[in-house]
Amino acid sequence: MLIRPEAVSAGAARLIGRMSPLVLFIALWYGACSSGLVNSEFLPTPTKVAAALADLVSGGEIARNLFVTLFRAAVGLALGSICGIWIGLMMARSERFKAYVTPIVGGTYSLPKSALIPLFALWFGIGNVTAIAAVFLACLLPMIVNTYHGVVTTPKVLVWSAQALGTTDRELPSQVLLRSAMPDIFTGLRIALGFSFVLAISTEMIASTSGIGKLIFLYGENGTYDYMFAAIACIVAVAFVADRVTLLGMHRLLRWHESAAADYERRRL
């Protein structure tokens, strides 16, 4: 395949354009450290953090802890999404079910889920189950609310058309309702993805012996702030990649949607 040189230079220019705020941020950070504006004991310089990052990445410790955190976040997110989609769908289809669930959803919606971590630690002990339970609960609510909204706003002419074309009540969710709700479900999924990292890491800080959260907490306790920042940088990078992958999947699956293409362009960095 031929690659046109002007396309390469245009791509490079765009990359530089995108990177410039990041470069500016690091420059400001460096300036704040070297000018003595902040105590470099508490805010290590970018070079020290970079050195710590190189040390962390070359050792196996970061990868092992990252894997633990990702496992907890992914399992909680998957369980929360599946249950949330099911509950949202049921709420939209059954008035009785909705009447039972609405007070619980409404009551717990604004509750910070991290407040329940000590309780979960008491019930489930220190480790995977507590972290997964906290992530699950945090992911559940945005998935319920967004799925419900998506299913409820399915145009009735779509449902009627499907029925007149031989769709049974059992086929209706998979053939029409959940597909029509897909843009909303993805909105919920992106919110839940963010929550999954927040809850996995905060649970690890309180009730775990492993994971990135625990690592950040320990480095903070020991005062090795350069390593703490390096660990934070790692999880930021991973969360960023996870979000981009979700966005890419959304773009692929929602090609049919009016605003999907525009949305993707707008949100892409």
Partner 1 sequence: MLNIVRPKIEIRRVSKAYASDHGPVLALRDTDLAVGEGEFVSIVGPSGCGKSTLLYIVGGFLDADGDVIIDEKAIMGPGTDRGIVFQEYALFPWLTVEDNIGYGLDRQHVSATDRKKIIDRLIGVIGLTGFEKRYPRELSGGMKQRVAIARTLACDPAILLLDEPFGALDAQTREIMQDELLRIWLETQKTVLLVTHDVTEAVYLSNRICIMSARPGQIIEQFTVDLDRTRPREELVLSPDFNTIRNKVWLSVRRQALAAGQQNVDPS
Q: What angle do CA 212, 213, 219 make, to 5 degrees?
A: 85
Nearer to partner 1, 6 or 258 (CB): 258
Nearest CA among 179, 158, 203, 194 for reference residue 253 = 179
Measured from the CB of residue 223, what is the shortest distance to partner 1 in angstroms?
Answer: 54
Measured from the CB of residue 97, what is the shortest distance to partner 1 in angstroms?
Answer: 21
- Which residues contribute to the site for partner 1 (CB under 8 A)? 155-158, 160-168, 171, 175-176, 179-180, 182, 255-258
Measured from the CB of residue 254, what is the shortest distance to partner 1 in angstroms?
Answer: 8
User: Going by C-beta distance under 8 Å and a sequence separation of 6 or more, which residues neighbour residue 6?
Assistant: none
Nearest CA among 173, 108, 172, 174 for reference residue 145 = 108
Measured from the CB of residue 152, what is the shortest distance to partner 1 in angstroms?
Answer: 17
Give CA–CA dist 218/103, Å, rounded: 40
Nearer to partner 1, 156 or 266 (CB): 156
| 258 DSSP assignment | T
Nearer to partner 1, 100 or 171 (CB): 171
Residue carrying the six token digits 């765009």: 14
Nearer to partner 1, 28 or 158 (CB): 158
Nearer to partner 1, 190 or 257 (CB): 257
Nearer to partner 1, 160 or 240 (CB): 160
Query: Are the CB atoms for 151 and 92 separated by under 8 Å?
Result: yes
Measured from the CB of residue 182, what is the shortest distance to partner 1 in angstroms?
Answer: 7
Nearest CA among 28, 93, 49, 16 for reference residue 225 = 49
Query: Are the CB atoms for 141 and 79 separated by under 8 Å?
Result: no
Measured from the CB of residue 146, what is the shortest distance to partner 1 in angstroms?
Answer: 17
Give CA–CA dist 134/141, Å, rounded: 12
